Each structure stands twice: as structure tokens, then as C-alpha cells.
Homo-oligomer: A and B are copies of this chain.
Amino acid sequence: MLKATVYVTIKKSVLDPQGVAVQGALHSVGFQEVESLRIGKYMELTLDTDNRSEAEARLRAMCEKLLANTVIEDYRYELEA
């Protein structure tokens, strides 16, 4: 069993309307110091395998196929040590 963490974030070149909205909300309740805010997805997975190289290849395939929209999103993943 391996634990993995996947981070999916909107590409820097793409506008993040959700981030802009939340930043505005933070400003409206008094947190003026927030200069920028970008929101992404954070996923914790458990994989029924102990083969690290296979798990990495499969995680990449999961991200490319389903977890991330690679046109506008970047992804990265970490396998537990």
C-alpha cells in the first residue's frame, strides 16, 4: 500500500477566477495583506501497490487522463517516503 498526494493547479498564464473571488472576499473581511491567491485541488490517494516506479507511472497516467485538465492545469505528485 502506498500513499500519494496529487496537486493540481491552474497554469500561471491562465486567469484563476475562483482565486480572484476568494481574494476579494478576504479583502472585504479585512485581510488586505493578501496580494495574490491561487486555488487548486489537493488529493490524497492510497494505492494498492508497493512498486514505487509503477505507482509513479500510474499516477502520471491518472493525472493526464482524468485528474488534471492539462490544457489549463499543471499537476505534480508525491509518493510517501
Q: What is the interface of chain A, defined by CB distance below 8 A to chain B?
A: 1, 7-9, 19, 22, 25-26, 29, 31-49, 58, 61-62, 65-67
Contact = CB atoms under 8 A, between A and B. Distances in A.
Contacts of A67: 22, 26
| Copies per complex of this chain | 2
Contacts of A49: 33
Nearest to A36: B46
A40 B43 contact: yes
Given A39-B42, A41-B39, A33 B9 contact: no
A39 B46 contact: no
B7 A33 contact: no
B26 A37 contact: no
